[in-house]
Structure 1
Amino acid sequence: MPVSTTQYLNSTYSRDMEARKPKSNLGKDDFMKLLTTQMANQNPLKPTDDAQMLGQLAQFSSLEQLTTLNSTAKTSNTALGAINVTSSVNYIGKSVVAGGDKIHKGSAGCSPVYYKLSENVASVKAHIYDASKRIVDTAVLSGTGEGEHTFTWDGVNAKGSLPEGQYSVGFEARDKNGKLIKVGAKVAGKVTGVTSKEGKTVLELEGGRSVNLVDIQRVEASKEVDEPEEGESAES
């Protein structure tokens, strides 16, 4: 199809304007052109100081190396993320323990929670919260000695069995003087999937929960969540 004069002029004008668009970044070729132009237009009676020129070259060299290093790091992080996701597939079907306070109540019972005391205390309570952050149950725990203990909520309060879903737990420990003692908590759950979010490898747990791969502290043989823990008990 023949091209009209108007179409040809418009096409030529578009290419010319595209070529005239200013660059947002200067590359090494642009830097060398600027340096060559500077040398060609300098005052012959007062040339650029050698030390100043060497300094400019050193700055450009450092900038180029940092740019290359940044590009290499991004590529490496992408590759490492893919490797982490691939290798983490081995976690699927296994139970993991990681820092957190979310528990899941399913048809087989509730997922266990591990709490750690830095010293012996007089009392420990576990407060169970629903999705609206309201306390739906409180359990008095028997594990009050220094170290790690396990608590598995029975999913029942004074009104009866609570619906299945996701809950959270907060621990209240006090010494013999009634002073609050800090309690560390970890949650457990079976891994159902692996995803990558914002460069981080995330393990998806039963009940819609998720934990970062780097936060995993222990991997355990898979077991039913309603199995009792030896030497531990809790009363609601």
Structure 2
Amino acid sequence: MSNVNLVTGDSDYLKVTSDRTTKQELDKDAFMNLLVTQMKYQDPLNPMDNQQMMAQLAQFSALEQMTNVAQTVEKQFANGMIGKHVSYQYTDSDTGQTQYLIGKVDYVKINSGETLIGIGDKEIKVKDVKQVLDPAVIQANTSAFELIEKTIQGLTKEKNSQGAEEEVIVEGEVLGVKMKDEQPYLIIGTGEGLIEIDFNNVQNIVDKPTITGRIVTATIKDESGEEQTIQGLAEYIKIKKEGTYVYVDGQFIAFEDIHTIANK
């Protein structure tokens, strides 16, 4: 089954590239290695106290039992999700981008003592599952999920410089869907510029976007008044009463400041 993008609060479409994972917890293997190393390098004239060693072995035994219980519970939980739809967090190893997706759990396997869940062509850890979804909710909002990767125009509201709410037209590619009280919201943009559009407020599907998804170059003035060249991907367009703005490289640029538009 193909996976469907769901979003990201948090967070999360920020691009973070890292090939290293840091082990935060002291597992039973590390505990045993630590104990063996401690015995190996102990002072032969002043060896480890027998009671102290027995206490550490007791701690190791308790840790191993708790780990085994946790693994059993985790496996049972994972097996119970087979055939169900879940929302889960997935980090692309190539791009470093973290996404929230929806998919059907196809299988469960144990790899080096770790329980992994198979969803389509992805394998994830149990801890990355965020929610088991109601099939009725998935089917009722299929049309919203079908808009992912398409460019749409939709309406949202935001406060203007006077603090009053006004209607804003947003045009951009749908990156995901977020459910709120069983109502789908389309996710457009990333990082701090992320916008959620109520599915009911979608006005149009844009077949041939002129700017969205293309590389633009603009010249703007920074806080000191000096000209600065900005180049980046046009994630979406925001049309307000005072003008049209394009979200590029984490900031909004006035449409009139753009001087070149190129394909990716």
- State the structure with more CA Rg: 1
Q: Which has the higher contact order (CA 8 A, sep 6+)?
A: 1
TM-score, L = length of structure 2: 0.33
Normalized per residue, the structure richer in strand is: 2
TM-score, L = length of structure 1: 0.36
